[in-house]
Structure 1
Amino acid sequence: MLQTPPSFTPLLAAREQDLVQNFVFCGDELLVGEADLALPGAFVCAALGIPTADFLPVGLLDEAYCRVAWLPKGTPLPEGVRPRRLRTLFGAMEESQLAVAGRAWQIAEWARTHRFCGACGSPTTHVAGERCMRCPACGHIAYPRISPAMMVLVRRGPEILLARHNNSPTRFFTALAGFLEAGESIEEAIHREVFEEVGLQVRDLRYFASQSWPFPHSLMIAFTAEYAGGEIRLDENEIAEAVWVGPGDTMPAIPPRGLSIAGHLIEAHLPGR
């Protein structure tokens, strides 16, 4: 599952280090080598015109200092360098490096979108020792945005409920999921989302695990829940199909166990286990 590697230490201030990993985003895509997916070195960063002051500290991965910078989409790139969406690097880039890339992207996106105060429009300044932007004019502060989202696998005896979402690029059948609304607890969001999306009531919510999901700044919080009542009634704006799957039933295509928490959640509760 994509998660922060044990050998990673976050940093809030730049540091001198012999080994440096430069995570450079052009728009919402990571710059990598065309041939080997290598991160840009000093020569490429110089060719791109990125001053050292534009890099933001991310942390230490083993002995390497990781930092991030961003460029506007459409910036001309040196030969041999190409932009890649993070999702396309699943299985192609080392998992620990990809996890740090996800963290770096969230930091870069926060810095890009908070150069000016959201309250009065004045330029912001970075607060030393914190991941924080402050407006010197009105005092408004802004931390990196984190959007909590719940995920829940509903169980009915030996069966589990799997759904295919309309906006899914993979067309996998997976657990239900949705973002929390202002003022909601995670548990309230689960009850609301399950009823809204498939018309069911649930009970006995149990925490499974959580995962940072940098698309662009989600925190996935996964649960199981027991079926409490109702018949499947789809919100056709959100859900294309929803089915109960039990022992002996043909399993539809589900997320693989790997980088996403969804695959781990489903595999841990497969019918018959």
Structure 2
Amino acid sequence: MHRLRTPLGALGLWLLFAFPAAAQFDDEPPAATPSAFDETEIDAADAEDFDDAPETDLDAVDRAHAAYLADSALQLERPEQDFEPPPPRPTPPWLQAIGDFLTALGPVFRVVFWAAVALVVAGILYFLFGEAIRLRFGGRAKKKDKPQDDILQDLRPDAAAARSLLDEADALARQGRFAEAVHLLLFRSIEDIQQRLEGGVPVSLTAREISNLGRLPDRAKRALGPIIQVVERSHFGGRAVDAEGWHEARRSYESFAFGEGWA
């Protein structure tokens, strides 16, 4: 019996709450549907609202803006850093003195510069045309003074060696071997020139070519000339060297070895 009452009580409670809820859903009004409206009425209402709004006083805005800009308490610009470079170091007195001295010599340096330019130009012109100018105007006068240059270089052999050579040549001449005696004088003279002449003498040169060397002093050329002529007449001309030719060659060698005017 007790088990039966419990389900019946639950069913009664359910019915009690179910009927009022259903009645509530039945009494709800229908959903509202959008209705057409008059746009002209809304625009007129908005216009009335704007007409009622207060007007902006532009003069007051300008005065407020001017007062804002004039307020010194406000920072309206970005501050810029004011950088001041350090003052330059003073020039040392000694350096200032050197600068003043060089400044004073400026005109002198200008003259020296143009003088150097003129010398360079003159040197180039002389290098290109100097030989022609010398031959055209001063060649003869220079040639007269050339014998004095022979004193600058002594090509003579030692006196003892020269006397020993003459003794050997005289011994050959007493035997009638005049050609050998003359050749001996010539070869020894060329050896002395090769040893004493600055730069030496190329071995491939003949006796005549050696006598025509431009750096050979004229006094040496004149002294060796007769010896070379005697040897050439004997070697190339087929003429035997006699006593006269020997004595001529001997005198030339004596002039070369013991002649005056050498340094």
TM-score by length of 1: 0.20
**Higher percent of residues as helix:** 2
Structure number, greater radius of gyration: 2
**Higher percent of residues as strand:** 1
